[in-house]
Amino acid sequence: MKCTETALKDVFVFDPDVIGDHRGFFMETWRKEWFAEIFPEGEFVQDNQSKSSKGILRGLHYQIHHAQGKFIQALDGSIFDVAVDLRKSSPNYGKWAGEILSSENKRMLWVPPGFAHGFYVMSETAVISYKCTDYYHPEYEKSIIWNDSDIGIEWPLQDDEVILSAKDAAGGLFKDAETYD
């Protein structure tokens, strides 16, 4: 497994060693020792899956009081996955990193606690799986609007239309976000 830090400190891309032949492929998708080096105090407590159609954008989500670290992979299709640093004491506060995760490239992204997270579906459909370091607490979930100009995410939009949930369409501004630290 190759682990590379992104432009944001503490956000990592994992490129697995894929062993394949005419029958298919095999790869490890998680090993405790990998995370002991980059996130020694954490453990995963919940696994989630979601399926979305092309053009759907989910996020930018975060939880106050119960910050979640997330380890994300696309099981089918492709997404543009984004992390935004909400740690006030970080030199990267308010900055973002994005990666294309797909069933073809098999990349995975580690988004540590203290970050907002979101993704945009680039394929006809996408199924993603992600491990979380804390449980989902809907009463503490917050959302930042996906196109906040203070963050300036360069989403690789394929059409002019972005499909949002009502909750995500009502997301707040970054300048008003509750932060960590």
175 phi/psi in degrees, rounded to 5: -60, -20
Per-residue model confidence (pLDDT) at position 129: 97
Tens-digit pLDDT profile for residues 164-174: 999 999 999 99
What's 60's domain CATH number?
A: 2.60.120.10
**Residue 138 falls inside a structural domain:** yes
The answer to the question of residue 84 being in a domain is yes
Q: Is residue 53 part of a domain?
A: yes
Span 119-161, pLDDT tens digits: 999 999 999 999 999 999 999 999 999 999 999 999 999 877 8
Spacing of C-alpha 8 from chain mean position: 13
CA dist., res. 113 & res. 5, Å (int): 16
Is 26 part of any domain?
no
Active-site residue identified among 61, 62, 117, 120? 61
Under the banding of pLDDT at 50, 70 and 90, the label for residue 180 is confident
**pLDDT tens for residues 14-70?**
988 899 889 988 888 888 887 787 787 778 999 999 999 999 999 999 999 899 999
65 in catalytic set: no
Domains: count for the chain = 1
Among the listed residues 65, 130, 140, 180, the single catalytic one is: 130
pLDDT: which is higher, 9 or 98:
98
Mean pLDDT value across residues 93-121: 97
Total H helices, total E strands in the chain: 2, 13
| pLDDT reading at 101 higher than 80 | yes
Indicate the range of 38-42, 88-92, 99-103 predicted with least confidence. Answer: 38-42
Judge whether 39 and 113 are in contact, CB under 8 Å: no
pLDDT at 33: 82
| Residues of the domain holding 152 | 2-17+42-176
Active site residue 130: yes
Residue 27 lies in a domain: no
Residue 105: inside a domain: yes
Q: Note the pLDDT of residue 54.
A: 96
**How confident is residue 181, by pLDDT bands cut at 50, 70 and 90?**
confident
Q: Answer whether residue 29 is part of any domain.
A: no
Tokens of 172: 């707040």
Tell me, yes or no, whether 23 lies in a domain.
no
